[in-house]
């Protein structure tokens, strides 16, 4: 693994950047027990809590491992939403926990910028006024 800190891609990153991030996260190898002991990605302080868990468990680099765990947790929660039969769920659960990270489930960086003008025009409401 690299010594570079893991910086999640921005929410609007292109496919290549998302795939590169998923590929880097996929270098993290975890046991099922390590994965299942991690705090939930749905906690209010999820990123900080999972990074702290990784540091305490000696899983380094903690930021990279934490983001791999969170992406895999999102993939597992997606399985729960699919309401699959138990056998299929069990097989896919192991694949998602032990396998490569799917770019679909990356936790992305948010920023405090307003949406781009071409996505949302704050003056658009004016055309509906009398």
What is the residue-wise DSSP string for 70-85?
A: HHHHHHHHHHHHHT--
65 occurs within a structural domain: yes
119 occurs within a structural domain: no
Domain interval for residue 60: 30-105
Rounded to 5 degrees, φ, ψ at 6 are: -85, 125
3 occurs within a structural domain: no
110 occurs within a structural domain: no
Q: Is the pTM of this model over 0.75?
A: yes
24 occurs within a structural domain: no
Please give the pLDDT value at position 4: 82
Q: How far is CA 47 from CA 60, 68, 107, in A?
A: 15, 11, 9
13 occurs within a structural domain: no
120 occurs within a structural domain: no
pLDDT-derived band at 108, boundaries 50, 70, 90: confident
Q: How many domains does the chain have?
A: 1
Ramachandran assignment for 115, one of left (phi > 0), alpha (psi -120 to 50 degrees), beta (any other): beta
| Model pLDDT for residues 42-68, shown as the tens digit of each residue | 888 889 999 999 999 999 999 999 999
Ramachandran assignment for 31, one of left (phi > 0), alpha (psi -120 to 50 degrees), beta (any other): beta
């Amino acid at each position: 693994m690299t010594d570079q800190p893991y910086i999640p891609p921005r929410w609007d990153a292109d496919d290549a950047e998302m795939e590169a991030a998923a590929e880097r996260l996929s270098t993290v190898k975890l046991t099922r027990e390590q994965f299942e002991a991690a705090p939930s990605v749905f906690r209010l302080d999820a990123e900080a809590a999972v990074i702290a868990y990784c540091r305490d468990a000696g899983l380094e680099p903690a930021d990279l491992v934490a983001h791999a765990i969170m992406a895999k947790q999102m993939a597992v929660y997606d399985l729960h939403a699919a309401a699959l039969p138990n056998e299929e769920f069990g097989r896919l659960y192991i694949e998602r926990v032990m396998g490569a990270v799917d770019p679909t489930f990356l936790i992305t960086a948010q920023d405090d910028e307003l949406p781009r003008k071409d996505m949302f025009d704050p003056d658009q409401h004016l055309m509906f006024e009398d």
